[in-house]
Amino acid sequence: MTLGTMGLSNTLFVMTFLLSVSTFPFLGAASIKSQAYFNQTGELPCLFPNSQNISLDELVLFWQNQDKLVLYELYLGKENPDNVHPKYKGRTSFDQDSWTLKLYNVQIQDKGLYQCYIHHKGPKGLVPAHQMSSDLSVLANFSQPEIMLISNRTENSDIINLTCSSTQGYPEPKKMYFSVQTENSTTKYDAVMNKSQNNITELYNVSISMSYSFHPETNNVSISCVLQPEPTETLILSPPYNIGTKPREKARHEQDHIRWITALLLILIVVCGMVLLLTRRKWKKKQPGPSHECETIRVEEKESEQTEERISKTYIPPGIKGNPEDMRIIQWRREKKRGEERRDGNRKPSCSSSGGHGVFHITLSPEVPPHPAENQKRSYNSLT
């Protein structure tokens, strides 16, 4: 017998066996529930105990769905893809350690009952060794519900129309409703759920609508949409839709922002005031005060007195031509002119203290009187 004839005979044998097990199922077969997510990987366990440690070379095992379509076949240690239905080819793999079949890219159509069969080939032929059923359920997570405003309220109406929708989920959700939260209460608004199903993926899209009436002075109203999927009890909430004044959290953030700006402005004003005060004090120190000016005047008066005294004591030898008194007068006038040029004026201020408190008054004194020699000159001219 050739190899091709042997393979054909094995295939015919397995097909005949499949028909037999579909007609006369095993009694007392175990069953287990399995769950997979849409477009993910599902597992179909067989849980063969193999207490006798039988080699795969002596076993024939395969999985079939509730329509008797073969997903996978292993014949005496070798995979046999000839009996696998086209819709499952390339989508399965067998884990020998856990005796589990992995089904890839799970679709909604893959939900249902699967059976695993294991036979031992002994001297008397194939003997049933194990059977297990797996009930596979497929889930698809709905998108987060989203609330949309259908139409804006008019000036004469305090009614708004809202719709909430969620897409691409399976199975059909249990419930969908609105939750309205005010400052004092939370109210649940049930609505008729509209649903549509994709003909190819079999995923659901659901939506609900609501007309909400509120008082014009109502503040801080928050509306949420709640979706309760099947079979879990976990609720899926939409982002809140707020009506009236700004949400408390946002208002609190704006208040904090205003406080920060106010604090920064106050700090800026204080710094500018300090800088202006220090600049003014520094400028005043550079300006000469009355005490400084009076001190200067005292020094100049003292120099003038010393000059007059020096002129009066000046000795002019008799041999020099001219009258000695005239020479003293001429010299005095020259000294007087130099002093006036230094003081930059014909009249100079003078200071006097009063009260002994260090307060000085600036007054104008008359021209420095002539030297006594001037009076001697006048008397000399009158004699001549």
The pLDDT of residue 8 is 36
Please check whether residues 122 and 25 belong to one and the same domain: yes
The pLDDT of residue 152 is 61
Q: Which residue has the higher pLDDT, 278 or 301?
A: 278
User: Is the per-residue pLDDT at 54 higher than 70?
Assistant: yes
Whichever domain contains 239, its CATH number is 2.60.40.10
Nearest to 170 by CA among 207, 201, 209: 201
Task: Say which range, 31-35, 179-183, 330-334, has the weakest mean pLDDT.
Answer: 330-334
Please check whether residues 269 and 308 belong to one and the same domain: no
Please check whether residues 13 and 101 belong to one and the same domain: yes
The pLDDT of residue 384 is 41
Residue after which a domain boundary falls, among 221, 245, 269: 245
Q: How many CB atoms are located within 10 Å of the residue 101 CB?
A: 24
Number of domains the chain contains: 4
Beta-strand pair 59-65/70-75: antiparallel
On whether residue 56 sits in a domain, the answer given is yes
The pLDDT of residue 177 is 95
The pLDDT of residue 151 is 72
Task: Say which range, 145-149, 238-242, 266-270, 275-279, has the weakest mean pLDDT.
Answer: 275-279
Q: Where are the beta strands (DSSP E) in the chain?
A: 30-37, 42-45, 59-65, 70-75, 78-79, 92-95, 100-103, 112-122, 125-139, 146-151, 159-169, 175-181, 186-190, 194-197, 204-213, 221-228, 236-237, 241-243, 349-354, 359-364
The pLDDT of residue 132 is 95
| Cα–Cα distance list, 270 to 1, 171, 261, 263 (Å) | 108, 67, 14, 11
On whether residue 299 sits in a domain, the answer given is yes
Containing 82, the helix (H) or strand (E) segment is none
On whether residue 2 sits in a domain, the answer given is no
On whether residue 126 sits in a domain, the answer given is yes
On whether residue 308 sits in a domain, the answer given is yes
Please check whether residues 13 and 116 belong to one and the same domain: yes
> 364 is written with which tokens?
């104008």
Please check whether residues 74 and 124 belong to one and the same domain: yes
The pLDDT of residue 214 is 73
User: Quick one: angle between helices 372-383 and 290-312, nearest 10?
Assistant: 40
Please check whether residues 192 and 224 belong to one and the same domain: yes
Please check whether residues 190 and 103 belong to one and the same domain: no
Give the chain's radius of gyration (CA, Å).
58
Please check whether residues 267 and 294 belong to one and the same domain: no
User: Is the per-residue pLDDT at 242 higher than 80?
Assistant: yes
Residue after which a domain boundary falls, among 139, 166, 197: 139
The whole-angstrom separation of Cα 32 and Cα 98 is 15
Residue 294's pLDDT band, with cuts at 50, 70 and 90, is low
Please check whether residues 56 and 90 belong to one and the same domain: yes
The share of the chain scoring above pLDDT 90, in percent, equals: 45
Please check whether residues 70 and 183 belong to one and the same domain: no
Residue after which a domain boundary falls, among 105, 139, 173: 139
User: Is the per-residue pLDDT at 24 higher than 50?
Assistant: no
Q: Which residue has the higher pLDDT, 188 or 338?
A: 188
pLDDT digits (tens, 9 = 90+) for 118-173: 999 988 888 999 999 999 999 999 999 999 998 765 555 678 899 999 999 999 99
The pLDDT of residue 346 is 47
On whether residue 3 sits in a domain, the answer given is no
Please check whether residues 133 and 16 belong to one and the same domain: yes
| Cα–Cα distance list, 101 to 19, 91, 158, 193 (Å) | 21, 10, 60, 38
**Domain range for 185:** 146-245
> Is 296 in a helix, a strand, or coil?
helix
The DSSP code sequence of 185-197 is -EEEEE-PPEEEE
The pLDDT of residue 86 is 95
Q: Which residue has the higher pLDDT, 91 or 31?
A: 91
Please check whether residues 154 and 213 belong to one and the same domain: yes
On whether residue 1 sits in a domain, the answer given is no
Residue appearing with tokens 């004003």 = 269
> Is 8 in a helix, a strand, or coil?
helix
Mean pLDDT, rounded, of the chain: 77
The pLDDT of residue 383 is 42
On whether residue 212 sits in a domain, the answer given is yes
